[in-house]
Chains A and B, each alone.
Chain A
């Protein structure tokens, strides 16, 4: 379009093009530009989508895990179980009893049984009905209608199981014979199977089997298998055998494992309980909790809580119907110490530990951070030493946190050498010091920025009226820079709050340490501590999937809320005190 203008010192007049129409080239250029724009938008969408998924995965798992199903049970401290010899019950003796002897299990089982009976629940009957229903459903699915009548007629489910089992076995024998070479045996086996079905009362099915061509070979086997009778009969037999296997252990499993410490501890605390009863809410097993909250449907093996069967679930359903089970907020999550059992695990000491550590970080890094910043910003001469300090600070800000963990471990070993012994391991003081050293660069950077932001006129004015340099800094500059320093400090503390790796290396994740904390709010700067991130780590390594996926997220949720609170505080402070010079 403008070739003519390209040569010669004075360009010839170009062909006039209107501004009102876009040339093809410009349109193309805009399209290319739009691509970049869309790419940017796409990148941001991907990141925001990721953030949304992240938050959703935390909230959707963490919030439900904060609620727990509890069974209201009338716990009867039966002296007959506590002391089978019939003598007095000695609390000291109980305190010394090994948990595995199972006397609590006896108490729990009896109490649970009693509670259910009082609520009008027929325990064995409920379980039996459920299994029978299961068996009938299996038969019905294969077209063997009328299974229920057979079960009823048989009297006990176990007897019906035998009948079905025999028919199933006959069918299996027929299948084996049909696949063999012996035509006569195949014929006989087919007829025997048909007969067995007739005996049970499934006449239609018998006819179907009898109609199978005994000489059909592989086709006949396939035809027989296609009926699904064999599988259904054997499944039904299997289901009907279950009620006989239901016992006290299966009953108490719903609540026992988590609560087994309870009875002993209560009795040790209060020996007068022997022979009395009290209504207490005991947590339901965490696997069953998932069934109750609708995560598992109870249909099919994959949908059963691990370790439980549908008979037990039918009891759970009955308890729910009888209002014995309620869903309540897990308040003790905020006070209990960490435990392997998800039902009673909590983050109490971790919250306290984190608070202690943040306190140490606040004091230590604020004092040293501000002092260092003042020196570097106001007093330091421009020389190599100052440069060296600056390089050091910049580097420390980028050193991986795990390296600070190594430093912490080294400090730990040194302190142990100095005679503090093993007691210093995993304490809040040590954790706080390590975190402070990590946070120091952040605070120095923030403080220096806010000191820089104070205009030089203030400095000149103060020096002008005869203040010394120290007075100028402490009376004028520091108060003016305080909001910025505070904001930087809060952000630094928020960072420190989420730091995990260095704390692991100085022994804060040790779960035995958690056991030392008998009371949630015990401990001080010099006691074995936990922190929020390390307790999250412990939760994440728990053996139970529900704990790993549920409670870990609850703990994360609490930690993130704390972080948000700190950051919002920082933002509010910044808004309130922000000053434009």
Chain B
């Protein structure tokens, strides 16, 4: 669509939000992710690309410890959020996830009203003391997710009744409502049609103003469109990580080049 934009975009050196060092992930006896080192910057969109099963989603789920819910999954190495190891024994995943929000591949609104969906996070985290405050949070979140105008007259309607693109934006609003510092998105557009995808992509670019966004995608065009940094995963290895423009125009690793030119994947 606007592939050319990436070359125009300048990337400032910003403060590092998440730093991963020598991360290993095992599913039972399978070594799913090997020696991953990544630095994710604040107020930047970082894209993870790679063929299916390469470990990009697994790594993403490590960043807010969603892998904890899988019994057989073990994580080794350090992942630092603002310099603190999120796998430290003292870290409460609940508190971590409030800081590192997540949007999933398939839109998964709760079977509640649109309002309750967005208000869920603020309510459990105690972010609003009064109904008025809560209303404000819901409205601002929906506005930030570019959904407000479409749903403001039917906030009591069930969230599951929205269209696919709207549902995904509702999920983004839901994640935004908890005021996270990092937003993880696991192939957020794979279940959407091109128009909805464009809306969400635009939204991601907006969100970059406030958050550090990490997006997993299998679409290279999407990565090129929305991200400033790109990491290429292949067979559980982080092959290459760098400026998006560099990865797409002048990759260092031959595997990256093969993938980008469509020879593997």
Chain A residues contacting B90 (CB-CB under 8 Å) are 20-22
| Partner-binding segment picked from B68-76, B110-118, B121-129, B219-227 | B121-129
Checking A6, A10, A19, A25 against B210 with a beta-carbon cut-off of 8 angstroms, the contacting residue is A10
Q: A6 CB to closest chain B CB, in angstroms?
A: 6
Checking A5, A19, A22, A23 against B179 with a beta-carbon cut-off of 8 angstroms, the contacting residue is A5
Chain B residues contacting A7 (CB-CB under 8 Å) are 136, 140
The CA of A104 and the CA of B136, in the complex, are separated in Å by 98
Known: A5-B179, A11-B179, A14-B179. Is A19-B125 also a contact (CB below 8 A)? no
Checking A2, A9, A29 against B144 with a beta-carbon cut-off of 8 angstroms, the contacting residue is A9
The CA of A5 and the CA of B125, in the complex, are separated in Å by 13
Interface residues of A, count at CB 8 A: 20
Chain A residues contacting B210 (CB-CB under 8 Å) are 10-11
Q: Does B133 contact A (CB under 8 A)?
A: yes
Known: A7-B140, A9-B143, A19-B99. Is A30-B125 also a contact (CB below 8 A)? no
Work out how many contacts link A and B, with CB atoms closer than 8 A. 52
Q: Does A26 contact B (CB under 8 A)?
A: yes
Checking B92, B127, B133 against A26 with a beta-carbon cut-off of 8 angstroms, the contacting residue is B92
Q: B19 CB to closest chain A CB, in angstroms?
A: 14
Q: A408 CB to closest chain B CB, in angstroms?
A: 45
The CA of A19 and the CA of B65, in the complex, are separated in Å by 13
Q: Does B86 contact A (CB under 8 A)?
A: yes
Chain A residues contacting B88 (CB-CB under 8 Å) are 19-20
Known: A10-B210, A25-B125. Is A19-B144 also a contact (CB below 8 A)? no
Q: Does A18 contact B (CB under 8 A)?
A: yes
> A25 to B179, Cβ gap below 8 A?
no
Q: Which residue of A lies closest to B82 (CB)?
A: A16
- Chain A residues 330 to 383 lying within 8 A of chain B, measured CB to CB, are none
The CA of A25 and the CA of B82, in the complex, are separated in Å by 21
Q: Does A87 contact B (CB under 8 A)?
A: no
Q: B35 CB to closest chain A CB, in angstroms?
A: 24
- Chain A residues 20 to 72 lying within 8 A of chain B, measured CB to CB, are 20-23, 25-26, 29-30
Chain B residues contacting A14 (CB-CB under 8 Å) are 179, 181
Q: Does A8 contact B (CB under 8 A)?
A: yes
> A26 to B94, Cβ gap below 8 A?
yes
Known: A14-B179, A19-B96. Is A6-B81 also a contact (CB below 8 A)? no
Interface residues of B, count at CB 8 A: 27
> B179 to A2, Cβ gap below 8 A?
yes
The CA of A22 and the CA of B127, in the complex, are separated in Å by 16
Q: Does B84 contact A (CB under 8 A)?
A: yes
> B133 to A6, Cβ gap below 8 A?
yes
Q: Does B209 contact A (CB under 8 A)?
A: yes
The CA of A247 and the CA of B181, in the complex, are separated in Å by 98
> B126 to A25, Cβ gap below 8 A?
yes
Chain B residues contacting A11 (CB-CB under 8 Å) are 179, 210
Q: Which residue of B lies closest to A24 (CB)?
A: B126
The CA of A323 and the CA of B210, in the complex, are separated in Å by 95
Q: Does B66 contact A (CB under 8 A)?
A: no
Q: Does B95 contact A (CB under 8 A)?
A: yes
Known: A6-B136, A9-B140. Is A19-B209 also a contact (CB below 8 A)? no
Q: Which residue of B lies closest to A8 (CB)?
A: B140
Q: Which residue of A lies closest to B88 (CB)?
A: A20
Q: Does B213 contact A (CB under 8 A)?
A: no
Chain B residues contacting A21 (CB-CB under 8 Å) are 90
Checking B84, B94, B137, B181 against A18 with a beta-carbon cut-off of 8 angstroms, the contacting residue is B84
The CA of A22 and the CA of B88, in the complex, are separated in Å by 12
Chain B residues contacting A30 (CB-CB under 8 Å) are 92, 94
Checking B95, B128, B136 against A23 with a beta-carbon cut-off of 8 angstroms, the contacting residue is B95
- Chain B residues 205 to 254 lying within 8 A of chain A, measured CB to CB, are 209-210
Q: Does B91 contact A (CB under 8 A)?
A: yes
Chain A residues contacting B181 (CB-CB under 8 Å) are 14
- Complex interface bits, A400-433 against B, C-beta within 8 A gives 1, otherwise 0: 0000000000000000000000000000000000
The CA of A451 and the CA of B150, in the complex, are separated in Å by 47
The CA of A158 and the CA of B192, in the complex, are separated in Å by 107
Chain A residues contacting B126 (CB-CB under 8 Å) are 25
Known: A19-B81, A19-B84. Is A29-B124 also a contact (CB below 8 A)? yes
> A19 to B86, Cβ gap below 8 A?
yes
The CA of A11 and the CA of B210, in the complex, are separated in Å by 7
The CA of A7 and the CA of B137, in the complex, are separated in Å by 7
Q: A177 CB to closest chain B CB, in angstroms?
A: 86
The CA of A9 and the CA of B82, in the complex, are separated in Å by 24
Known: A9-B143, A14-B179, A19-B84. Is A29-B94 also a contact (CB below 8 A)? yes
Q: Which residue of B lies closest to A22 (CB)?
A: B92
The CA of A9 and the CA of B144, in the complex, are separated in Å by 7
The CA of A20 and the CA of B125, in the complex, are separated in Å by 17
24 sample A-B contacts, Cβ–Cβ < 8 Å, listed by A number: A2-B179, A5-B127, A6-B127, A6-B128, A6-B133, A6-B137, A9-B144, A11-B210, A14-B181, A16-B82, A18-B84, A19-B82, A19-B84, A19-B86, A19-B88, A19-B91, A20-B88, A20-B90, A20-B91, A21-B90, A22-B92, A25-B126, A26-B92, A30-B92
Q: Which residues of A contact B (CB under 8 A)?
A: 2, 5-11, 14, 16, 18-23, 25-26, 29-30
Given contacts A6-B140, A11-B179, 10 further A-B contacts (CB under 8 A): A5-B179, A6-B127, A7-B140, A19-B81, A19-B82, A22-B90, A23-B95, A26-B94, A29-B94, A30-B92
